[in-house]
Amino acid sequence: MSTGPVPQTERVPVGVDPTRASIARVYDAFLGGKDNYEIDREVRDGVLTEAPYAEHLAIENRDFLIRSVRFIAQQTGIMQFLDCGSGLPTAENTHQVVQRIRPEAEVIYVDNDPVVAAHGRALLEENDHTALIDADIFEPDAVLDNAVVREHLDFTQPIALLHIGTLHHYEGPADKPAEIMRRYYERLPSGSFVSISHFLDPENEHTPMARRAEDKFRHSPMGSGSFRTLDEIRSLFGDLELVEPGVIRLADWWQDGPRLTPLNEAQHCIAGGVARKP
């Protein structure tokens, strides 16, 4: 692990500790972005030695975010999106995907990473329908009662809640993520949608790769990244109505066309789905 000085070429925003890996920056490193430091790339490289193709966990995840958000914007008429754990800005961000289809839609991003805040605020400066708040996404009441959330979102109308690539970073009791999501669902209006993705233990010949990656993530300076089974991931949706085809590998969730190449190992190890609150 590197604890030496940060090279001059890496500009560090005020308040950011470049000697500690961050989830947002490690994810950015996996996606080939530039908003990461040496310590983050070391986490990425450590995982890649144990789990080749692990960058496809991030690639599949991001593709699913774009597909599921586009689906919700196009097909449900929902005009308000709450993106929990939004991550660093990348090629296609939630508000861009949504507002291309529904220009007046409100998009609220929630993240607690100071680098995300620095980049996000700059990106959103000229967009009246989009805001970024600093809150703990594992505290539903704190998110839903946030003043900016209350100002932008109308809780008498359906809301699209995104928890994409977030819940596997909760490091506490194993059954707590389902409880956290239940609290969100209790407070969302009827007709709301949720999109969730999560690292998957596929309980087959790819389980060893999932468990090796998990071990590397959790024992790295980033410190989180749990792989759950399909049943466990399904439980994150509580009693909501799952949209077809249910909770499955992201690689199989309404792809843009036929698959021409076999899945790599990492593509077997991330799953999710979309559901509606009746």
CA 90 from centre of chain: 13
| Residue from the set 37, 109, 138, 227 that interacts with ligand SAM by CB under 6 A | 138
Taking a C-beta distance cutoff of 8 angstroms, is the pair 124, 86 a contact? no
Cβ nearer to ligand SAM, comparing 7 with 96: 96
Picking from 276, 275, 108, the residue whose alpha carbon sits closest to that of residue 197 is: 275
Q: If binding is defined by CB under 6 A, does position 42 make contact with ligand SAM? A: no
| Residue from the set 33, 46, 89, 165 that interacts with ligand SAM by CB under 6 A | 165
Q: If binding is defined by CB under 6 A, does position 120 make contact with ligand SAM? A: no
Applying CB under 6 A, the span of 22-30, 118-126, 244-252, 268-276 interacting with ligand SAM comes to 22-30
Q: If binding is defined by CB under 6 A, does position 55 make contact with ligand SAM? A: no
Applying CB under 6 A, the span of 1-9, 104-112, 183-191, 266-274 interacting with ligand SAM comes to 104-112
| Residue from the set 113, 201, 214, 232 that interacts with ligand SAM by CB under 6 A | 113
Q: If binding is defined by CB under 6 A, does position 166 make contact with ligand SAM? A: yes
| Residue from the set 21, 23, 107, 133 that interacts with ligand SAM by CB under 6 A | 23
Q: If binding is defined by CB under 6 A, does position 169 make contact with ligand SAM? A: yes
Picking from 191, 277, 187, the residue whose alpha carbon sits closest to that of residue 237 is: 277
- In whole angstroms, the minimum distance from the beta carbon of 145 to ligand SAM comes to 15
Applying CB under 6 A, the span of 20-28, 33-41, 208-216, 254-262 interacting with ligand SAM comes to 20-28
Q: What DSSP line would sit under the chain, residue for residue?
A: ---SPPPTTS---TT--TTS--HHHHHHHHTT-S---HHHHHHHHHHHHHSTTTHHHHHHHHHHHHHHHHHHHHHT---EEEEES--S--SS-HHHHHHHH-TT-EEEEE---HHHHHHHHHHHTT-TTEEEE---TT-HHHHHT-HHHHHH--TTS--EEEEES-GGG--S-TTHHHHHHHHHHHHSPTT-EEEEEEEB--SSTTHHHHHHHHHHHHTSSS-----B-HHHHHHTTTTPEEPTT-SEEGGGSS-SS---SPPPTGGGSEEEEEEE--
| Residue from the set 40, 42, 111, 214 that interacts with ligand SAM by CB under 6 A | 111
End-to-end CA distance of the chain: 48
| Residue from the set 36, 68, 86, 195 that interacts with ligand SAM by CB under 6 A | 86
Q: If binding is defined by CB under 6 A, does position 96 make contact with ligand SAM? A: no
Cβ nearer to ligand SAM, comparing 61 with 192: 61
| Residue from the set 57, 97, 124, 164 that interacts with ligand SAM by CB under 6 A | 164
Residues lying near ligand SAM in the complex (CB under 6 A) are found at 23-24, 27, 61-62, 65, 85-87, 110-113, 116, 136-138, 164-166, 169
